């Protein structure tokens, strides 16, 4: 089996439980003996998957979120020797990565734009400069068109009147400014074509009474795709870090609900919903 020939480690090679669990997710089931530890029931990892495990555990695992961005605190490559001081229980695991991948782990000095040190971002916070930055965003980010055939979802937890379509509109004015991209007088409807993203974003539990609306545009929509990383030479002046953790789009339009998609846990609504006063959609996923 190719995976047996290529594999150089397995989930049983690691001392740390988190690494074991991640390795089980990334690795392949194979009864062959591990080349490193000899175990036959660990999930096998080839060099690429072992690299992915190191990235997921150390790089993403050390991600430090700031108000306007974030960056990993630890990184690794094949040019440096390890200069971090791992916890005692991680020492042997770090040594295993070093030996099998020929890498070293070090403290990452993130680029300032990752932490929010972005000139357009600072300018956005000054009312006088804001219009020109918004104009740049609209001009420089690509647009995506969404056809009426595309549907997306909006979840509500415990809506007062579940069958009323307005329950699935953007939140009432009293909640303006409480979401990521809405503000006073500028409500936003948050939705996603991926139902799982809605469930995740709404932080619901199995005990919650949930309803989902299936929505679709009434006409072709042009959305601004802020998920794109703009290629620019001057990163300090660039727009690319402005909203880089988000995948979102805006559009001025009205929408309506489509036919329901009933499921065991989630109930759907149908009919039409006019959103003439709501002018912003934020779509994740
Ligand atoms: Zn092993």
Dist CA 54 CA 95 (whole Å): 12
- 34 Cα–ligand 1 center, Å: 5
- 61 Cα–ligand 1 center, Å: 22
pLDDT for res 36: 96
Least confident among 10-14, 52-56, 168-172, 234-238: 234-238
**Closest alpha carbon to 101 in 57, 59, 52, 61:** 52
| Domain ranges across the chain | 2-110, 119-283
Q: Which residues pair with 256 in a beta bridge?
A: 216
- 28 Cα–ligand 1 center, Å: 12
27-64 in b/e form (b: 16+ CB < 10 A) is bbebeeebbbeeeeebbbbbeebbbebbebbbbeebee
pLDDT, average across residues 255-276: 31
pLDDT for res 195: 87
- 72 Cα–ligand 1 center, Å: 28
pLDDT reading at 278 higher than 50: no
**Could you report the per-residue pLDDT of 180-223, keeping only the tens digit for each?**
778 888 888 888 888 888 888 888 888 889 999 998 888 888 88
**Residue 271 confidence class, pLDDT cut points 50, 70, 90:** very low
- 12 Cα–ligand 1 center, Å: 5
pLDDT for res 283: 60
**Could you report the per-residue pLDDT of 9-63, keeping only the tens digit for each?**
999 999 999 999 999 999 999 899 999 999 999 999 999 999 999 999 999 888 8
- 105 Cα–ligand 1 center, Å: 21
**Could you report the per-residue pLDDT of 97-147, keeping only the tens digit for each?**
999 999 999 998 877 777 777 788 888 888 999 899 888 888 888 888 888
Dist CA 49 CA 47 (whole Å): 6
Phi first, then psi: what are they for 235, rounded to 5°?
-70, -25
Which helix (H) or strand (E) element contains residue 254?
none
Dist CA 50 CA 48 (whole Å): 5
Tokens of residue 249, six digits: 């789009």
- 224 Cα–ligand 1 center, Å: 47
pLDDT for res 32: 92
Dist CA 151 CA 204 (whole Å): 22
Top mean-pLDDT range of 66-80, 84-98, 220-234: 84-98
- 85 Cα–ligand 1 center, Å: 24
pLDDT for res 270: 29
- C-alpha torsion sign, points 239, 242, 247, 251: negative
DSSP state of 183: B
DSSP state of 249: -
- 80 Cα–ligand 1 center, Å: 25
pLDDT reading at 281 higher than 70: no
């Amino acid at each position: 089996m190719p995976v047996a020939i290529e594999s150089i480690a397995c989930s049983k090679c690691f001392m740390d439980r988190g690494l074991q669990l991640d390795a089980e997710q990334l690795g392949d089931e194979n009864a062959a003996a591990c080349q490193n530890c000899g175990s036959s029931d660990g999930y096998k990892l080839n060099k690429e998957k072992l690299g992915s495990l190191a990235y997921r555990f150390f790089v993403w695992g050390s991600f430090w979120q700031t108000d306007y961005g974030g960056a990993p605190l630890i990184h690794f490559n094949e040019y440096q020797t390890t200069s971090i001081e791992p916890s005692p229980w991680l020492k042997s695991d770090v040594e295993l990565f070093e030996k099998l991948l020929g890498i070293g782990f070090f403290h990452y000095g993130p680029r300032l734009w990752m932490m929010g040190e972005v000139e357009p971002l600072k300018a956005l916070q000054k009312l006088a400069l804001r219009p020109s930055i918004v104009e740049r965003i609209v001009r420089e980010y690509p647009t995506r068109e969404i056809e009426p055939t595309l549907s997306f979802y909006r979840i509500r937890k415990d809506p007062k009147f579940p069958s009323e379509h307005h329950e699935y509109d953007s939140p009432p004015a009293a909640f303006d400014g409480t979401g990521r991209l809405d503000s006073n007088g500028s409500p936003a409807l948050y939705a996603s074509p991926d139902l799982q993203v809605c469930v995740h974003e709404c932080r619901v539990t199995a005990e919650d009474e949930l309803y989902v609306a299936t929505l679709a545009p009434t006409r072709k929509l042009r959305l601004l795709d802020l998920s794109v990383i703009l290629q620019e030479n001057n990163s300090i002046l660039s727009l690319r870090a402005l909203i880089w953790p988000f995948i979102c789009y805006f559009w001025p339009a009205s929408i309506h609900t489509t036919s329901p998609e009933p499921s065991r846990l989630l109930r759907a609504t149908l009919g039409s919903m006019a959103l003439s006063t709501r002018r912003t959609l934020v779509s994740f996923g």
